[in-house]
Amino acid sequence: MLLLHQRPLFVPLFHAGAELDLLVFKGGESVGIEVKYTEAPKTSKSMRAAIDDLQLKHLYIVYPGSKSYPLDKSITALSIKDLNNIFVV
């Protein structure tokens, strides 16, 4: 079970095609989480729109693979096994 240390989680709603599964507040900044069932996560226009619209510090694409790696400066492909790491202060 993933313990979120009582962080507020939100499921944001967007217009104009933006996409985001969860919005988490960490250290006074917003972090986006997108969940994808794929072995090779990719960025999308809607993810970039969510980063801009919500002024996200970072966006994580959680996927079932074994390695976490950056896709660019503001988006990381995050292995599900590393998910708890983003909730550590």
Q: Which tens digits make up the pLDDT trace of 67-82?
A: 999 999 999 999 999 9
Which pair of structure tokens corresponds to residue 56?
A: 């996200």
Q: What is the pLDDT of residue 26?
A: 77
Q: What is the pLDDT of residue 17?
A: 58
Q: What is the pLDDT of residue 69?
A: 98
Positions in the chain whose pLDDT score sits under 50: 1-5
Q: What is the pLDDT of residue 9?
A: 56
> In the chain, what are the domain boundaries?
11-84
Name the residue among 89, 74, 88 with its Cα closest to residue 34.
74
Q: What is the pLDDT of residue 46?
A: 87
Which pair of structure tokens corresponds to residue 65?
A: 């693979």
